[in-house]
Amino acid sequence: MVKVLLAGDYFVTPEVLATALERHLPEAETSVLQGEFPEQPLSEDPEGVHESVGSEDDLIAALQGVDVCFTHTFPVTRKVMDACPDLRMVTVTRGGPVNADKQAATEHGVVVSFTPGRNATATTEHSLAMILAAVRQIAQRHEELRQGKWPGNLYRYDLVGPELAGGTVGLVGYGAIGSRVALVLQAMGMRVRVFDPYFKGELPEGMEAVDDLDDLLASANVLTLHARLTDDNKGMIGAREMALMPEGSVLVNCARGGLLDYDALCDALDSGHLYAAACDVLPAEPLPPDHRILHTDRLTVTPHLAGASKQAAELAADIGARDIAAFVHGERPQHVANPEVLDAE
């Protein structure tokens, strides 16, 4: 009988993992390890993994005699692999297996799977909410009312923001999230232009693919970022790029903080070149209370929660459980990060 460790946390909980596994692999014998995310923030330690939470030693103890580690944020490091000889598969319920050391897993013959698209709907909805919040300055007006203020000048022509309908949105990235955002904004009457060097398909009718980022920026009344962070695109939107955007435009980042120069963003807002901005991802998480971002007008921020929904947690667990069941039944899992392990068998 296969033994599976349900190493959940307070988002993708052990109960959510158990429900999904029962659906697809009811014969599995399970044990539970409770993690502390998000009560404990994600860390870049230990070595070899990213954005993890939890103790290697606790994970090692829980994985003795276990075949499959089904986790969200625990650090599945080389140290863990070395100490758990029975481990055959690690399934990470995230868009990428960042908290599993893929090289160490491959060397140990351990299959690593992940759950792409798990939070595409949640992040799409949050991205759209942030675009609207920035354009309409919803959070700022709410806070003024909480403080007992009733600004009487908000209908001044020089203070009101633009409508989305009739404007142009530039999307950087056209994956599972960007493509959904594009469809909704097109339905709202926006012209949609897309910059994505990795997208080789056909865009829906009425959308335009753009090969040159500067061309996209020069036309974007709204710029929204949906790219994965790579060595090639780190800091891709800085002072020069924002200067190319039309006066009074809006910038939204719900992708990765490393894509954007936040000092340059604050400068562009302070100067009035950008009308507004909204970001769910930030240069430091959590932000120190005196950080400039928190004191810049017309900048709406949320604490990296775009992908947070009950359905995202449940979908992640379901995708992961399907791959575990396929592996146990001798079939090829759909979302494998190191297929060379399967090919070597």
* Residue 33 · residue 59 · CB < 8 Å: yes
Q: How far apart are CA 345 and CA 342, in angstroms?
A: 5
Across 54-78, b (16+ Cβ under 10 Å) vs e yields bebeebbebbeebbbbbbbbbbbbb
The rounded distance, in Å, linking the Cα atoms of 262 and 277 is 11
Just list the catalytic residues: 256, 285, 304
Q: Do 276 and 301 meet the contact criterion of CB atoms below 8 Å apart?
A: no
Q: Are 21 and 43 in contact (CB under 8 A)?
A: no
Task: Indicate the burial class of 242 (C-beta count within 10 angstroms; 0-12, 13-18, 19 or more).
Answer: buried
DSSP state of 91: E
Between CA 116 and CA 39 the distance in angstroms is: 24
- Interatomic CA distance for residues 282 and 304, integer angstroms: 8
Are the C-beta atoms of 181 and 124 separated by less than 8 Å? yes
Q: Encoding tokens for residue 341?
A: 């392990």
| Tokens linked to 219 | 């036309």
Q: What is the DSSP letter of 139?
A: H
